[in-house]
């Protein structure tokens, strides 16, 4: 009756990047996310889909594919999987993800094809075709994918439209968090989940070992650093992704510039600014309460102090602040600006997000101060700062989420192995539940306790509840249904005839001439001292002199001038009846004489 | 299952459903028609109305129009749902923004401890509609005298028959505090009430966020269908599949003016507007600032452009105009496919924001708020309140009523044409009744019943009679092929709920101990096992805990046949010595060859007496083998 939940990360197993987690639950196979890895340009950038099937066969294997949010490490291989690998089954994401993911995918495609000269990559048309297959889901909506699979979406914070997904098949369920944030930020609310008690919680663990100081402190820190550099005439480069963290930092800078009445130019390098703002306006219901309640009078995303960057501004003299994509300095405009500015110690680069191994951002953050370019190596003199602004839950947040949703098992993905081990200790310590950290391609089996339920009539339920909750009855399998019946119901519904089986024993007292009442009194004393098993109970003497215990009756009658002790009992009380009759049979009259 | 109708009109709904001991209020509407017997007022003076002659019955309170209608000069009052025991309510489910007007009355009651559920857009739009009404009332320059509603004779208007319940309209603070407590939900979101009842809102197609609710207790299903629409408008179309096969279909808010087809009236509005502005007249359309107006504007613009009238200003006057016009654009996920597709371009789903930017449409919080700058004759003005008892619509109507070129078009169907206009009559201005009611009409509702196949339909008895105005129109009657239970205003119906059963989860320990045995029963062989244990419940999800061996009892079932018993005894070498028939012939006494062991048989009792424990045990085994022990 047991069936395991099997989990295999094809990506994001003890790693950050190319998130793709396969879950097999009650015979249904669900794929969560279909990402790419920013640290690789070879085939390792995509999950190893050959694990699932031959190309063209994935639709038969995968019953549902869910994309948690629009970041490329969660959706970057989606057009490849649907259009080139041939998956054609259900594909679920939120409306903002559906709107924004194709833009990032197109960006990614352009860089890969134009810059790296890749020829066998998915095309613009394929991105469009892929997105056409999407079925959108609203926050808290439950979608019935087929007759067995239901999917519910929860708000995850992190980026606009990020969702956490609860997939239920039968009595088992898996909650996949994608990336989430347990503290609200300038433009998004925090992740929320009810006590859904999933069989397995699959959580990201990017910041598994970090407990971050308060948001306010980090914001103040960030603004102080930016301010100090521009005051000293330096330039600040902030590599970001076009949508998400960028908007939050823009709001922050915008407010600060307003308050301090600063005139230093602030630029956003990507042509997406306006389009991005439009998306944020259309999906304002996905932002936080403050933005929702004020948008009629003032759209937070219409920035006064921030204008569009042009390549030619790069070598302008004087201070400036530039938001440039992509966020990990691995290619594109942010990398170009970095190369142009990095020699000058007056300048600063602020990395506001996580950087994947293999990217320039990652190298810098690990202390590397020499970079290789096509024109030889350059020494980095500019200040390099890291500020954790990327909206992932920290250790405290992850533990909070576990507390909220009360899972029976936890699986960590999307993090570094060493850090996961630390968090696993904390989780097992605090919640005493099994916790796993599978590597890519490693299958883990989570044994599931079978859940069997039976129906009980309202009447029986009520009478059991009013009689101290003790149920005594029968379980009947009828037409593939399990019924819990009280004894009365069973007799009625199954056409049973109760039958009483009585057993009798008698002992003739030949050598004794005693009054019946005396015999019974002595017998009572003897039995009470011999039968000491508490479970059997004790005999009570009635007014008429007889002894009773449950259905066991002992009487003394005179038959043919002799006293005869009668013991009779119902078969249900066989242990007592047997004990009494054995004592009488063994000891005979001696029992009473002594 | 019990349903009580606490509403006071067919279209101001408030039903209280008791299901599995959970009390759920479905909609919470006050009767807005109760505004009509009051004297109209507005932010500025309207001397004609104020100088209407007093009625001798109650001078200073009752005024009489030239047409003979009596109007009460007092602050506005609403009639909330009737006779509700607020303390009973566990939850209130809302279908759309026009059904929330009594929420402030119920929610501010200190005895109310329930939760209110409405879709996210519905909470917002409902709040805007109520705030608009309060703002109109606040704008009134002279605070009106407080008149005791009990003193108004009931011949003035039928609502004064229930005057003891009439309540003065709440203020903005009350609305804000109440609406902040509503739990916003999305379509297909399961709302769990104590683990006993499950409620899910589904698209109703009427307006943004309008919902029908499926309410389930175990297998028992109620589909609550109210203010649903089959029209093609801006919202997600009505979902029917999930409503199907309910035990009860509770049907309310069918079209109030079924003789008008909304598609026709919509084009009639366009025609009247076109011809009026062509002749140099102004058009006044008293209406709410949410709902139908969104579709109407898009139609009207198209129509005016076609007629080369694109320079005629369109003006929307409402204290909540800015929010009412801005919000539909952020609810893209709640709109029809065509509008939803715009999200991905990205483009705003509605045209009006662009038209506001290009100054084709203007909006003002009231007529004094800069409207002068864009106002020119002819123009088209949408203004509230549609009851024509307060707000800028009253002011504009007073101003324009003497010019025969002007036109007023009433489009909101919950207000009757004659009564609404009566205080302004006689007038030269032309008036039109073009109710645009997206709600399903009788034939659509009849088809809906056919499609979703309910076991029982619970609905208003008035739907089965043709309207008083059209007694012979049998197409204006609801037809149901399912059994109908009529539920009139103030009535209660009790419906037999089939025996519901409760799902009990079996604990692992219990499963380990199960010993399923085949048992011959009246229905053939079935697998049966003895079960005992403690019932535990968490979140109303009961579990049968580990079995307690000491409490595990078994009993014998079946019948012992005499011949069978003798045969078995004989086969074991215990051939009976003597068999006597006792009593009526179905009792037997079997004496065994040892002369002291006996078996007494009767249809439901067998009694064994034996000389030795060993013998008794043997006989017990033999008899038991002929019975079933469970």
Q: How confident is the model over B44-100, as pLDDT tens digits?
A: 888 898 889 998 888 888 999 998 899 998 888 888 887 889 999 999 999 999 999
Over residues B388-398, the pLDDT tens digits come to 999 999 999 99
Same domain, A344 and A269: yes
Distance CA B248, CA B224 (A): 8
Touching A: B residues 331-350, CB under 8 Å? 331-333, 340, 343-344, 346-349
Window from A23-32, A197-206, A532-541, B592-601 with minimum mean pLDDT? A532-541
Q: What is the mean pLDDT of chain B?
A: 90
How many Å lie between the alpha carbon of B448 and the closest alpha carbon of chain A? Answer: 23
Distance CA B156, CA B200 (A): 43
Distance CA B486, CA A481 (A): 36
Please report residues of A whose CB lies closer than 8 A to that of B347. Answer: 278
Banded pLDDT at A513 (limits 50, 70, 90) = confident
Range B548-559 burial, b when 16+ CB lie within 10 A, else e: eeeeeeebbbbe
Residue with more model confidence, A248 or B96: B96
Same domain, A220 and A149: no
pLDDT on residue A14: 94
Angle subtended at Cα A53 by Cα A50 and Cα A56, rounded to the nearest 5 degrees: 105
Whether the predicted pLDDT of A212 surpasses 80: no
Distance CA B403, CA B153 (A): 36
- The mean pLDDT value for A429-441 works out to 95
Say whether B604 and A491 touch across the interface (CB within 8 A): no
| Token pair belonging to A84 | 């080139």
Same domain, A365 and A486: no
- The mean pLDDT value for A559-564 works out to 82
Say whether A478 and B526 touch across the interface (CB within 8 A): yes
Range B279-293 burial, b when 16+ CB lie within 10 A, else e: eebbbbbbbbbbbbb
Say whether A453 and B530 touch across the interface (CB within 8 A): no
- Domain hosting residue A294, numbered range: 215-386
Q: Please tell me the CATH superfamily of domain B2-38+74-256+439-494, with its number.
A: Ribonuclease Z/Hydroxyacylglutathione hydrolase-like (3.60.15.10)
Whether the predicted pLDDT of B297 surpasses 60: yes
Backbone φ and ψ of A153, nearest 5°: -110, 135
Say whether A285 and B519 touch across the interface (CB within 8 A): no
Whether B581 contacts chain A with CB within 8 A: no
Whether A478 contacts chain B with CB within 8 A: yes
Please report residues of B whose CB lies closer than 8 A to that of A476. Answer: 526-528
Say whether A283 and B527 touch across the interface (CB within 8 A): no
pLDDT on residue A115: 67
Over residues B406-424, the pLDDT tens digits come to 999 999 998 999 999 999 9
Angle subtended at Cα A478 by Cα A476 and Cα A483, rounded to the nearest 5 degrees: 45
Backbone φ and ψ of B423, nearest 5°: -65, -15
Banded pLDDT at B213 (limits 50, 70, 90) = very high
Whether the predicted pLDDT of B487 surpasses 50: yes
Measured between CB atoms, which of A98, A457, A474 is closest to B499? A457
Same domain, A244 and A258: yes
Same domain, A419 and A527: no
Domain CATH for A367: 3.40.50.10890
Whether the predicted pLDDT of A389 surpasses 80: no
pLDDT on residue A558: 84
Look up tokens 């007007």; give the residue: B101
Same domain, A52 and A71: yes
Banded pLDDT at B143 (limits 50, 70, 90) = low
Distance CA B39, CA B23 (A): 39
Residues 6+ apart with CB under 8 A from B120: A285, B184, B185, B186, B209, B331, B334
Whether the predicted pLDDT of A533 surpasses 80: no
Same domain, A406 and A268: no
Residue with more model confidence, B346 or B226: B226
Look up tokens 């008293």; give the residue: B286
Q: Can you list the positions of beta strands (E) in B80-190?
A: 91-93, 115-119, 167-168, 183-185
What ipTM describes this predicted complex?
0.84
Whether the predicted pLDDT of B328 surpasses 60: yes
Measured between CB atoms, which of B185, B555, B610 is closest to A572? B555
Q: What CATH number labels B557-629?
A: 3.30.310
Catalytic site residue from A204, A219, A248, A589: A204
Banded pLDDT at B552 (limits 50, 70, 90) = low
Same domain, A74 and A10: yes
Banded pLDDT at A415 (limits 50, 70, 90) = very high
Same domain, A524 and A420: no
Touching B: A residues 230-289, CB under 8 Å? 275, 278-279, 281-285
Measured between CB atoms, which of B187, B348, B620 is closest to A571? B620
Over residues A303-349, the pLDDT tens digits come to 889 888 888 999 999 999 999 988 888 878 888 999 999 999 999 99
Whether the predicted pLDDT of A288 surpasses 70: yes
Whether the predicted pLDDT of B126 surpasses 60: yes
Angle subtended at Cα A101 by Cα A98 and Cα A105, rounded to the nearest 5 degrees: 140
Residue with more model confidence, A104 or B431: B431
Measured between CB atoms, which of A140, A578, A585 is closest to B612? A585
pLDDT on residue B499: 72
**Among this protein's residues, is A204 annotated catalytic?**
yes
The domains of chain B are located at: 2-38+74-256+439-494, 262-433, 505-553, 557-629
Q: What is the mean pLDDT of chain A?
A: 88
Whether the predicted pLDDT of A373 surpasses 80: no
Touching B: A residues 374-403, CB under 8 Å? none
Domain CATH for A53: 3.60.15.10
Rg of chain A taking only CA atoms, in angstroms = 37
Banded pLDDT at B432 (limits 50, 70, 90) = very high
How many Å lie between the alpha carbon of B7 and the closest alpha carbon of chain A? Answer: 30
Whether A498 contacts chain B with CB within 8 A: yes
Please report residues of B whose CB lies closer than 8 A to that of A482. Answer: 506
pLDDT on residue B122: 96
The count of structural domains within chain A is 4
Same domain, A47 and A196: yes
pLDDT on residue A270: 65
Say whether A456 and B501 touch across the interface (CB within 8 A): yes
Please report residues of A whose CB lies closer than 8 A to that of B323. Answer: 296
Choose among A325, A52, A267, A287: nearest CA to A155.
A287
From A338, A363, A386, the end of a domain falls on: A386
pLDDT on residue A1: 40
Banded pLDDT at A406 (limits 50, 70, 90) = very high
Banded pLDDT at B592 (limits 50, 70, 90) = confident
- The mean pLDDT value for A387-391 works out to 73
Q: Three-class SS of residue B7?
A: coil
Please report residues of B whose CB lies closer than 8 A to that of A496. Answer: 521, 557-558, 628, 630
Topology of the domain covering B262-433: Rossmann fold (3.40.50)
Count of residues in chain A: 594
Whether A585 contacts chain B with CB within 8 A: yes
Asked if A10 and A411 count as a contact pair (C-beta separation under 8 A), the reply is no
| Token pair belonging to A471 | 């149920």
Distance CA A443, CA A117 (A): 36
Whether the predicted pLDDT of A490 surpasses 60: yes
Say whether B609 and A506 touch across the interface (CB within 8 A): yes
Q: How many CB atoms lie within 10 A of CB B624?
A: 17
- The mean pLDDT value for B166-190 works out to 93
Say whether A471 and B605 touch across the interface (CB within 8 A): no
Whether B21 contacts chain A with CB within 8 A: no
Please report residues of B whose CB lies closer than 8 A to that of A450. Answer: 508, 511
| Token pair belonging to B353 | 């924001």
């Amino acid at each position: 009756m047991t069936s395991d939940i099997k989990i295999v990360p094809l990506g994001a197993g003890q790693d950050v990047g190319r998130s793709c987690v396969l879950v097999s639950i009650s015979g249904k196979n669900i794929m969560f996310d279909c990402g790419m890895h920013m640290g690789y340009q070879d085939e390792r950038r995509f999950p190893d889909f050959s694990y699932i099937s031959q190309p063209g066969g994935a639709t038969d294997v995968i019953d549902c594919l869910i994309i948690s949010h629009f970041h490329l490490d969660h959706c970057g291989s989606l057009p490849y999987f649907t259009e080139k690998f041939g998956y054609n089954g259900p594909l679920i994401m939120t409306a903002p993800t559906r709107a924004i993911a194709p833009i990032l995918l197109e960006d990614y495609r352009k860089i890969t094809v134009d810059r790296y000269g890749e020829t066998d990559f998915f095309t613009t048309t394929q991105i469009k075709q892929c997105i056409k297959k999407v079925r959108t889901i609203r926050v808290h909506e439950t979608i019935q994918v087929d007759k067995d699979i239901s999917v519910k979406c929860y708000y995850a914070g992190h980026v606009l439209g990020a969702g956490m997904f609860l997939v239920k098949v039968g009595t088992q369920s898996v909650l996949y968090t994608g990336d989430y944030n347990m503290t609200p930020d300038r433009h998004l609310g925090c992740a929320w989940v009810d006590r859904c008690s999933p069989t397995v919680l699959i959580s990201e663990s990017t910041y598994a070992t970090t407990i971050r100081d308060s948001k306010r402190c980090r914001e103040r820190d960030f603004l102080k650093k930016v301010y100090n550099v521009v005051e000293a005439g330096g330039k600040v480069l902030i590599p970001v992704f076009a949508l998400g963290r960028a908007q939050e930092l823009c709001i922050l800078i915008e407010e600060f510039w307003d308050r301090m009445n600063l005139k230093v130019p602030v630029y956003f390098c990507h042509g997406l600014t306006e389009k991005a703002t439009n998306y944020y306006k259309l999906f304002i219901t996905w932002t936080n309460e403050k933005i929702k309640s004020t948008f009629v009078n003032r759209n937070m995303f219409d920035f006064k102090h921030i204008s569009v960057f042009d390549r030619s501004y790069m070598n302008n003299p004087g201070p400036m602040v530039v938001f440039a994509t992509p966020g990990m300095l691995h290619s594109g405009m942010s990398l170009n600006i970095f190369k142009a500015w990095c020699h000058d110690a007056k300048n600063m680069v602020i990395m506001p997000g996580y950087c994947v191994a293999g990217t320039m951002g990652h190298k810098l953050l690990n202390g590397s101060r020499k970079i290789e370019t096509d024109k030889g190596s350059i020494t980095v003199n500019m200040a390099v700062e890291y500020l954790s602004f990327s909206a992932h839950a920290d250790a405290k947040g992850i533990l909070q989420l576990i507390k909220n949703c009360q899972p029976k098992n936890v699986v960590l993905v999307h993090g570094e192995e060493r850090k996961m081990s630390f968090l696993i200790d904390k989780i097992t310590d605090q919640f005493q539940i099994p916790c796993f950290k599978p590597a890519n391609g490693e299958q883990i089996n989570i044994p599931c306790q079978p859940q069997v339920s039976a129906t009980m009539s309202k009447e029986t339920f009520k009478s059991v509840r009013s009689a101290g909750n003790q149920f005594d009855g029968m379980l009947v399998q009828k037409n593939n249904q399990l019924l819990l019946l009280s004894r009365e119901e069973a007799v009625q519904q199954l056409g049973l005839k109760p039958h009483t089986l009585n057993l009798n024993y008698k002992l003739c007292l030949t050598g004794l001439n005693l009054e019946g009442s005396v015999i019974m009194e002595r017998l009572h004393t003897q039995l009470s001292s011999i039968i000491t098993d508490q479970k059997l109970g004790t005999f009570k003497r009635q007014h008429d002199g007889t002894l009773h215990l449950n259905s066991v009756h002992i009487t003394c009658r005179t038959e043919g001038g002799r006293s005869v002790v009668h013991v009779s009992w119902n078969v249900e009380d066989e242990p007592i009846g047997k004990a009494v009759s054995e004592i009488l049979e063994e000891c005979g009259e001696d029992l009473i004489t002594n | 299952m019990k349903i009580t109708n606490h509403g006071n009109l067919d279209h101001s709904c408030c039903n209280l459903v008791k299901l599995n001991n959970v009390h759920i209020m479905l909609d919470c509407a006050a009767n807005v028609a109760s505004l009509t017997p009051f004297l109209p007022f507005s932010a500025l003076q309207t001397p004609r109305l104020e100088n209407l002659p007093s009625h001798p019955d109650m001078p200073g309170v009752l005024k009489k129009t030239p047409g003979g209608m009596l109007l009460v000069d007092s602050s506005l009052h609403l009639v909330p749902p009737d006779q509700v025991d607020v303390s009973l309510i566990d939850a209130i489910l809302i279908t759309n923004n026009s059904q929330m007007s009594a929420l402030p009355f119920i929610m501010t009651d200190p005895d109310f401890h329930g939760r209110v559920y409405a879709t996210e857009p519905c909470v917002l739009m409902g709040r805007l509609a109520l705030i608009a009404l309060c703002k109109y009332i606040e704008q009134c320059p002279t605070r009106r005298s407080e008149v005791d509603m009990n003193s108004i004779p009931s011949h003035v208007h039928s609502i004064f028959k229930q005057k003891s319940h009439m309540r003065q309209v709440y203020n903005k603070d009350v609305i804000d505090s109440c609406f902040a407590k509503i739990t916003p939900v999305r379509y297909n979101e399961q709302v769990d009430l104590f683990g006993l009842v499950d409620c899910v809102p589904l698209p109703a197609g009427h307006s943004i966020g309008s919902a029908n609710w499926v309410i389930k207790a175990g297998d028992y299903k109620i589909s609550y269908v109210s203010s649903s629409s089959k029209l093609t408008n801006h919202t997600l179309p009505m979902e029917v599949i999930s409503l199907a096969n309910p035990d009860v279909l509770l049907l309310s808010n069918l079209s109030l003016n079924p003789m008008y087809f909304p598609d026709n009236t919509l084009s009639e509005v366009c025609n009247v507007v076109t011809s009026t502005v062509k002749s140099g007249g102004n058009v006044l359309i008293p209406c709410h600032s949410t709902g139908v107006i969104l579709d109407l504007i898009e139609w009207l613009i198209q129509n005016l452009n076609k007629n080369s009238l694109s320079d005629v200003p369109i003006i929307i006057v409402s204290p909540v105009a800015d929010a009412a016009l801005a919000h539909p654009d952020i609810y893209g996920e709640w709109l029809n496919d065509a509008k939803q597709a715009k999200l991905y371009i990205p483009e705003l789903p509605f045209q009006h924001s662009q038209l506001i930017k290009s100054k084709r449409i203007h909006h003002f919080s009231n007529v004094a708020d800069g409207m002068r700058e864009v106002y020119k004759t002819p123009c088209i003005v949408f203004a509230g309140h549609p009851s024509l008892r307060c707000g800028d619509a009253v002011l504009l109507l007073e101003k324009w009523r003497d010019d025969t070129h002007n036109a007023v078009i009433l489009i909101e169907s919950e207000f009757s044409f004659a009564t609404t206009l009566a205080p302004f009559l006689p007038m030269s201005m032309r008036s039109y009744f073009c109710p645009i009611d997206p709600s399903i009409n009788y034939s659509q509702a009849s088809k809906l019943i056919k499609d979703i196949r309910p076991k029982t339909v619970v609905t208003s008895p008035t739907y089965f009679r043709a309207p008083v105005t059209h007694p012979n129109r049998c197409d204006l009657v609801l037809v149901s092929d399912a059994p109908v239970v009529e539920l009139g205003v103030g009535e209660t119906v009790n419906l037999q709920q089939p025996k519901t059963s409760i799902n009990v989860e079996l604990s692992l320990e219990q499963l380990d101990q199960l010993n399923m045995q085949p048992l011959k029963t009246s229905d053939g062989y079935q697998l049966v096992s003895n079960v005992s244990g403690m019932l535990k419940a968490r979140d109303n999800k009961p579990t049968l805990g580990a079995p307690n061996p000491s409490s595990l009892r078994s009993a014998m079932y079946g019948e012992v046949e005499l011949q069978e018993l003798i045969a078995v005894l004989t086969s074991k070498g215990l051939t009976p010595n003597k068999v006597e028939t006792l009593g009526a012939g179905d009792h037997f006494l079997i004496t065994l060859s040892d002369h002291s062991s006996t078996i007494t048989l009767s249809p439901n009792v067998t009694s064994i007496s034996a000389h030795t424990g060993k013998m008794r045990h043997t006989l017990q085994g033999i008899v038991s083998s002929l019975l079933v022990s469970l």
